[in-house]
Structure 1
Amino acid sequence: RDIAAEVGIKQSSLYKHYKSKQEIFDTLIDTMQSRFRDASASFQLPDGELQEMAREYATGGNEVLKKISSEIFHFYLKDPYASQFRKMLSIEKYKNEEIDRIYREVYIDAAISYQAKLFEEMIKQGFMRQASPEVMALQFFSPIFLLLNKYDGIAEKEKEVKKILEKHIEQFDMIYRKEAI
């Protein structure tokens, strides 16, 4: 009913295109995944085997990490679909266990898991100091997630959040990157 009202059609018309609420929701998830893949391609994220990606991130220095982190951050903050999707999941996760599971998977678990694997490989290759990759991933991602929620919907603070994000990445890099030999 709410979706039909929002797009200005009758509820019965909506079910001509979708068989159920679940199908509508699945379409929203598929669309979000597709939009992120398209956006990621435009960010020029390192791609390929984990070993190659770790080397690219490490040899590119913190400027590469700042650029990519900033682009992904701004995608989730500013892209109308991505922003609304995140807000919808944030609200609905308290009403539905499946939505809560998806929210955690998309915005927390997948990001931390990916970053932990990447940091583990960077440690193996000698680019980062010996530390727990899982803790490193938490230390890297948590401030970004917090900033995303803090600055959501506050367009006039965009320069401020960009500076804080850059300082966070610089400090993280300073703590964990091994000195060049």
Structure 2
Amino acid sequence: MGKASTRDKILDAALTLFSEKGYDGVGVDLIGENAGIKGPSLYRHFKGKEDILNSLIEKVGAYYELNFGSENHIDRIPESVEELLTFSMERIRFTMHDVTLQKTRRILVMEQFRNPRIAELTSKHHMDGLQGMFQKIFEAMMEMKILKMDDAGTMALEFVAPVSLLIHTYDRQPEREAEVMEKIKKHFEHFAKMYAN
């Protein structure tokens, strides 16, 4: 891999600092220091702290879509209920263990009540976007007669809401990972029993 650009170093430093201290608890000088540059040099790359946050949101959003998927980017439709469960568990493991996503979730949780854009992103990433993605997957799986015909939006809500809550449990208490994973697995298995054709 190539050497990280100064811009990427700034964004990486901001991600870590915002996730630890919150947006308001971090100044551009501290971001610059953690990126290995003088605070004023940061302005060669960004207009200010809000520009850093906006660029960070865009970068992490693209990273998430590429590595997890979205309703606009579904890399494959599972061809069986078993494949759906495997597909979903792979994404759960990625979400729980990816350091970038862990830090991003912390920022979203801390800042959602202070910043309307962050509030919107929190809803999108914790529920609405996931529900939309799985609704499309379930619609396709119903057409393939893998899942029973039902309301795909409601099915998607049933599928993702408990998982989102359980991932937040893991974020607060990582020592409960085994318990959280077992509950998610049982939830997916129950969903399969209810909706498999």
TM-score bracket, normalised by the shorter chain, equals 0.7 to 0.9
Correspondence 1:2 to 2:21? no
Aligned match of 1:14 in 42, 54, 70?
Answer: 42
TM-score by length of 2: 0.73
- Which structure has greater helix proportion? 1
Instruction: State the alpha-carbon separation in 2 of the partners of residues 4 and 70 from structure 1.
Output: 40
Q: Would you say the 8 A contact 2:95–2:101 is kept in 1?
A: yes
Q: Would you say the 8 A contact 2:27–2:49 is kept in 1?
A: no
Aligned match of 1:31 in 39, 59, 68?
Answer: 59
Correspondence 1:141 to 2:160? yes
Using the TM superposition, name which of 70-79 and 160-169 deviates more. 70-79
Correspondence 1:174 to 2:193? yes
Count residues in correspondence.
Answer: 166
Aligned to 1:47: 75
Instruction: State the alpha-carbon separation in 2 of the partners of residues 146 and 166 from structure 1.
Output: 14
Aligned to 1:98: 117
Correspondence 1:78 to 2:103? no
Distance apart, 1:148 and its partner CA: 0.5
Aligned match of 2:79 in 46, 54, 58?
Answer: 58
Aligned-pair identity (%): 27
Distance apart, 1:10 and its partner CA: 4.7
Correspondence 1:163 to 2:188? no
Runs of at least 5 residues in structure 2 that lack an aligned partner in the other structure:
1-25
Instruction: State the alpha-carbon separation in 1 of the partners of residues 60 and 27 from structure 2.
Output: 20
Deviation digits for residues 91-129 of structure 1, max 9, x if unmatched? 111011111112222332111111112212222222211
Which runs of 4 or more aligned residues in structure 1 lie more than 6 Å from their structure 2 counterparts after TM superposition?
A: none
Distance apart, 1:38 and its partner CA: 4.9
Instruction: Assess, with a 3 A threshold, how the Cα gap between structure 1 residues 137 and 5 changes in structure 2: closer, same or farther.
Output: same
Deviation digits for residues 138-174 of structure 1, max 9, x if unmatched? 1000111010111114333222222111111111001
- Code of the residue aligned with 2:126 in structure 1: it is Y
Runs of at least 5 residues in structure 1 that lack an aligned partner in the other structure:
none
Instruction: Assess, with a 3 A threshold, how the Cα gap between structure 1 residues 4 and 171 changes in structure 2: closer, same or farther.
Output: farther
